[in-house]
Chains A and B, each alone.
Chain A
Amino acid sequence: MADEIKQLFEKRLGRYQATIALEKTDRMPIATGSNYFAEVYSGNTKQETIYDSEKWLRAEEAFIRDFPEVDVLRNNRIWGPLYDAVGCKTYKLPGRDLSPRTQFQFVEDEYMKADEYDVLINNPLEFMMDRLLPRVLGELAEPGSIRARMALLKGGMAQVMMSQIMRNRSLYLEQKLGMPQPMTGFFLAPFDALADVMRGLRGVLLDIYRQPDKVLEACDVLVDEMVNLALATADPLKRYPIFVPTHKACFLSPKQFETFYWPSFKKTMERLIEAGYTIRAYLEGDWGHHLHHLLELPRGKVLCDIDNQGDIFKAKEILGNHLCIAGGIPDSMFILGTPQEMRERVKLLCETVGKDGGFIINGGCNIPYDTKPENYRAMIDAIIEYGTYDSSIDPKPLTGQAEESETPPLKMVTPWEVKLAELGDVQGDENLIRKPWELLEIMGYTWIWQWVL
């Protein structure tokens, strides 16, 4: 049985990886990044997904039982208790701020002031610790208070609990259900890191006009931080793409995009690709004017999700045989359409955009919560029927380049050398002390930066 599961896992992973790499495989993978439908398929509330990990897993187990053709299923969602422990203000959560059946949503505000660019540019870590976190995390509002110090303790502990949950989930999905991940680890385009939680859309648009040089400098500084965040949270085995949702590009003119968004985003992605990773980018909103820039990235290394506002046919035309794309089905069709409509749409996509591979059928960066099961079933059946390329191919995970590239060292506040100098000398095996020291430093550093998402 274990062998069968392993084979299934490898087949699914191989199919997914080959498609991203634009290599031949047996059929189009069924590989959504954010399958919201799966989370609530068994009748769970949206609150249960983020507060009751066991129920979430059971829901997906039921989903996999009924839709075994699916090739990947996501881990690593928001875990409510961590957000509560520190009082994170950037999300409204189901069951806490919203009804249990409403989906979680990002709430934007101006947490960084217009005159704080120099603080961010000169010392990003100090900026995060002293300025941003006390504003974004309500429990840290009064730095130094007992409550704030307690919140930091709880926040660290909750993070370890969450990591344990996600790790177990991932292992369970892999070893019991043969299910790989669509992505592991995350980062933001530097411009989005600045524009989402720090300045907000309104703030950053004004800054583009009022202090463009500062915006550019800040984006440059954030490249390093985003690379570090991505590498610290990515799959150490480099099997899965690293996830990047893009938020503000769709608001920018081509000129603004070229100037403020693209250079630092490109640099960040290039460094992750150099480190042996692939990337899954949600191109949210309409990227029609910006798509051609993605051709500057290495071939087959980035999977681009095209949103509902975008045009999948145009995306195929532009990105063509350079990068894999995903999308093509309006979200509303999953919810309000019929199986017949779904079948026709999938057929059309398979015969056009998907005919030579490098394509994954998906909604707009997601499968909606309210998807009708019969429509989802129709999508799968049609993909099997029209999206099979060559049944004689037996997909296997890719090996090679990824393992060879070295992961750069990760950031810490107090590197081991500093600590060692303070200790003078250690009497026993230095590595036994050094490794956990560094691991905890890296975890702490990552903890701080995750709140930009």
Chain B
Amino acid sequence: MMSLARAISDLNEGLVMDLVKHRLEMGATPLDIVEECRTGMIEVGERYSRGEYFLGDLVLSAEIFQGVMQVLAPALDKKTAPKPLGRIVFGTVEGDIHDIGKNITISLLRCHGFEVQDLGVNVPPDKFVHSLNETGASILCLSILLSSCFEALRRTVSLVRLFDREKKIKILIGGLVNEKVREYSGADGWVTDARRGVTICQKWMGVL
């Protein structure tokens, strides 16, 4: 039989759900199933990097993964979950309500073992600071599509730096950004591609 990871990587939704059901009946632990799905999701990211998949495929894979998680959620024991690779706070900056890029990146990050706190869209700077304090996250990801929000981006980074004088928190911006925007905002890195965002976070955590 085809592996669950392969079915996910092929975006074969019907087969994925059948396999998940079958694996549960066969006595597999929910955690094993999640791990297999993650492997499949990572492969989806690779296929995107190779130009084989497109944005829509990433959105679809995240949908399928979420569907699996919904089935497994009641049975998942949080205590036995593996230690996360790192903690990330993620949100779209104040004034901007776009979320597609953010959602794709978050689902990829989670599949690569990061614990991500998703603050949603139109997030005011102080809310990011509050969440960073609360979670102890070492990476902040800021999503932005509107050029009218560069100022909100800069304000957010400034406020975070004010509370993080030792610069322990790394800040990554993504969306409609470039080196100029990064420089203006004071962030540590910029990406326009979700897969590349994961790589940078992995580097910052010292796993690459």
Contact = CB atoms under 8 A, between A and B. Distances in A.
A369 interface: yes
Contacts of A336: 150, 180-181, 184
Interface stretch (A7-15, A225-233, A315-323, A325-333): A325-333
Given A105-B97, A205-B59, A253-B57, A333 B176 contact: no
Contact of A102 (B148, B150, B176, B180): B148
Interface string B57-93: 1011001000000000000000000000000000000
Interface in B24-54: 53-54
Contacts of A370: 147-148, 150-151
A305 to B, nearest CB: 15
Contacts of B181: 332, 336
Interface string B122-158: 1000000000000000000000001110110000000
B69 to A, nearest CB: 16
B56 interface: yes
Interface centre among A103, A256, A364 (most CB of B within 10 A): A103
A202 B97 CA distance: 16
Contacts of A289: 54
Interface size class of B (residues with CB under 8 A): 20 to 34
Contact of B176 (A36, A99, A201, A309): A309
A252 B147 CA distance: 24
A214 interface: no
A331 B147 contact: yes
Contacts of A364: 176
Nearest to A257: B54
A239 B98 CA distance: 35
B13 A209 contact: yes
Given A206-B63, A332-B178, A335-B147, A252 B192 contact: no
A99 B96 CA distance: 11
A101 to B, nearest CB: 8
B113 interface: no
A92 B180 contact: no
B56 A256 contact: yes
A161 interface: no
A172 interface: no
B159 interface: no
B60 A209 contact: yes
Interface residues of A, number: 35
B11 interface: yes
Nearest to A331: B147
B56 A205 contact: yes
A99 B95 contact: yes
Given A202-B59, A252-B54, A335 B150 contact: yes
A366 B98 CA distance: 18
A171 interface: no
A332 B179 CA distance: 10
A288 to B, nearest CB: 11
Contacts of B11: 209
A308 interface: yes
B162 interface: no
B186 to A, nearest CB: 13
A337 B59 contact: no
A335 to B, nearest CB: 6
Given A107-B97, A333-B180, A369 B60 contact: no
Contacts of A337: 180
Contacts of B122: 98
Contacts of B54: 251-253, 256, 289
A395 interface: no
A207 to B, nearest CB: 11
A250 interface: yes
Contacts of A105: 96-98, 146
A368 B144 CA distance: 14
A415 B178 CA distance: 55
Contacts of B53: 253
B150 A332 contact: yes
Contacts of A205: 56, 59-60, 63
Contacts of B55: 250-252
Contacts of A107: 97
Interface string A84-116: 000000001000001100110101000000000
A202 B62 CA distance: 10
Interface string B162-178: 00000000000000111
B178 A103 contact: no
Contacts of A99: 95
The listed residue with most A CB atoms (<10 A of its CB), out of B56, B178, B181, is B56
Contact of B178 (A202, A209, A330, A334): A330
B132 to A, nearest CB: 24
B63 A202 contact: yes
A102 B59 contact: no
Closest 9 CB pairs of A and B: A331-B147, A253-B54, A251-B56, A368-B147, A251-B55, A102-B95, A369-B148, A332-B180, A205-B56
19 contacts: A36-B148, A202-B59, A205-B56, A205-B59, A206-B13, A208-B56, A209-B13, A251-B56, A252-B55, A253-B56, A308-B176, A330-B180, A331-B176, A332-B150, A332-B177, A332-B181, A335-B150, A337-B180, A364-B176
Interface of A: 36, 92, 98-99, 102-103, 105, 107, 201-202, 205-206, 208-210, 250-253, 256, 289, 308-309, 330-337, 364, 368-370
Given A202-B59, A308-B176, 8 more contacts: A205-B59, A206-B13, A209-B13, A252-B54, A330-B180, A334-B147, A335-B150, A336-B180
